[in-house]
């Protein structure tokens, strides 16, 4: 290939990739409008969190004791809380906390679970038997209960909340990935890699894990909604993110019983934010599963 042709191909490639992805997204939205709706809400949520400094009309931490428990007005669109803080601004900044905790815990939990599932399927034998019994024990405990156990041991704080949510999600992804990886263990390309003398780590990370990316992505998107809900639940119980960090669960905690009748907007709007984000991730995750599963794929 001449230098001129090489330069031409390099200039065409980015445009081709962009058009390819745009076409794939348009096809996904047309075939699965509910998934497209969920993806649109997620897109808005991500950009809201990224541009919170520009969008929020007030500092989420600043207090105004002359405007405490103020109903929604032109100055404060969603009202104020018991410290005079703007509810709208705190919801906007709370999306950062929700996405940071949700994505971090989901990514770490799904990735760790995928590695464990692929490794146990590859090695088999006693390793697989022992790890699956451990996963079964963890699966027998509800998510919220297991998260409460770990947060009680680790203590409160953003990092500890991420760890406490991450660990209960690992066995779920491990079992799903393991079921897909079992069929790959005896595939010719894995046998060829063994014959060439490749190490176990290279076979697992270079040959097995890339072929189970579809169930991994589905579990990751499904975990995101659960992680946001778990973070809000822990914060509501006083075991999650600490004040004065803007977080939707903390806003619900501050609106509990004492102000439920006097200032219902303190609970209504954070609750709507949690419900909408979890609903969007669930819609998108279900549609992504249908798109990636060949048995459910629309022809």
- What's the pLDDT tens digit per position in 9-47? 444 445 545 565 676 677 667 777 887 888 888 999 999
**Same domain (yes/no): 133, 186:** yes
Give residue-wise pLDDT tens across range 44-71: 999 999 998 899 888 888 888 887 888 8
Over residues 87-113, mean pLDDT: 91
**Same domain (yes/no): 233, 170:** yes
**Same domain (yes/no): 70, 187:** yes
**Same domain (yes/no): 27, 49:** no
**297 in a structural domain:** no
Of all residues in the chain, the percent with pLDDT exceeding 70 is: 86
What is the count of structural domains for the chain? 2
Tell me what pLDDT residue 256 has: 64
Phi-psi region of 172 (alpha: psi -120 to 50; beta: other; left: phi over 0): alpha
**CATH number for position 137:** 1.10.3720.10
Q: Is 2 helix (H, G, I), strand (E, B) or coil?
A: coil
Tell me what pLDDT residue 128 has: 83
State the average pLDDT for the chain: 81
- Tell me the two tokens of residue 166: 């991450």
**Same domain (yes/no): 8, 100:** no
Over residues 98-107, mean pLDDT: 91
**298 in a structural domain:** no
Over residues 205-221, mean pLDDT: 84
**Same domain (yes/no): 208, 251:** yes
Distance CA 92, CA 247 (A): 9
Is residue 161 a contact partner of residue 151, using CB atoms and an 8 Å limit? yes
**Same domain (yes/no): 214, 194:** yes
Give residue-wise pLDDT tens across range 227-268: 998 888 888 888 888 778 888 888 888 666 667 777 788 888
Over residues 265-283, mean pLDDT: 88
- pTM for the model stands at 0.82
Phi-psi region of 157 (alpha: psi -120 to 50; beta: other; left: phi over 0): left
Distance CA 279, CA 284 (A): 9
Count Cα neighbours of 116 within 13 Å in the Cβ-side half-sphere: 22
Give residue-wise pLDDT tens across range 129-170: 888 888 888 888 888 888 888 888 888 788 888 998 998 888
**Same domain (yes/no): 256, 159:** yes
Determine the structural domain holding residue 125 and report its residue range. Answer: 40-292
Residue from 84, 85, 95, 97 nearest 55 by CA = 95
**Same domain (yes/no): 10, 94:** no
């Amino acid at each position: 290939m001449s230098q001129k042709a090489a330069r031409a191909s390099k200039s065409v490639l980015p445009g081709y990739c962009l058009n390819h992805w745009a076409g794939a997204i348009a096809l996904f939205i047309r075939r699965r409008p509910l998934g497209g709706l969920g993806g649109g809400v997620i897109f808005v949520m991500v950009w809201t969190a990224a541009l919170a400094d520009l969008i929020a009309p007030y500092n989420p931490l600043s207090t105004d004791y002359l405007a405490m428990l103020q109903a929604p007005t032109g100055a404060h669109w969603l009202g104020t809380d018991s410290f005079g803080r703007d509810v709208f601004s705190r919801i906007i900044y709370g999306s950062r906390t929700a996405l940071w905790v949700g994505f971090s815990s989901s990514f770490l939990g799904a990735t760790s679970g995928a590695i464990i599932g692929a490794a146990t399927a590859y090695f088999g034998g006693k390793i697989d038997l022992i790890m699956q019994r451990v996963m079964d024990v963890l699966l027998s405990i509800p998510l919220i209960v297991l998260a409460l156990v770990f947060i009680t041991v680790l203590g409160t704080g953003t990092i500890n909340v991420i760890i406490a949510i991450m660990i209960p999600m690992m066995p779920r992804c491990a079992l799903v990935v393991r079921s897909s990886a079992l069929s790959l263990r005896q595939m010719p390309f894995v046998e060829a890699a063994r014959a060439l003398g490749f190490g176990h780590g290279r076979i697992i990370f270079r040959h097995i894990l890339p072929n189970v990316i579809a169930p991994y992505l589905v579990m990751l998107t499904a975990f995101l909604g659960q992680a946001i809900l778990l973070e809000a639940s822990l914060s509501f119980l006083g075991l999650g993110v600490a004040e004065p960090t803007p977080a939707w669960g903390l806003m619900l905690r501050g609106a509990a019983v004492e102000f439920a009748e006097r200032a219902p907007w303190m609970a209504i709007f954070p609750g709507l934010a949690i419900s909408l984000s979890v609903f969007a991730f669930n819609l998108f995750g279900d549609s992504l599963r249908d798109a990636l599963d060949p048995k459910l794929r629309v022809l």
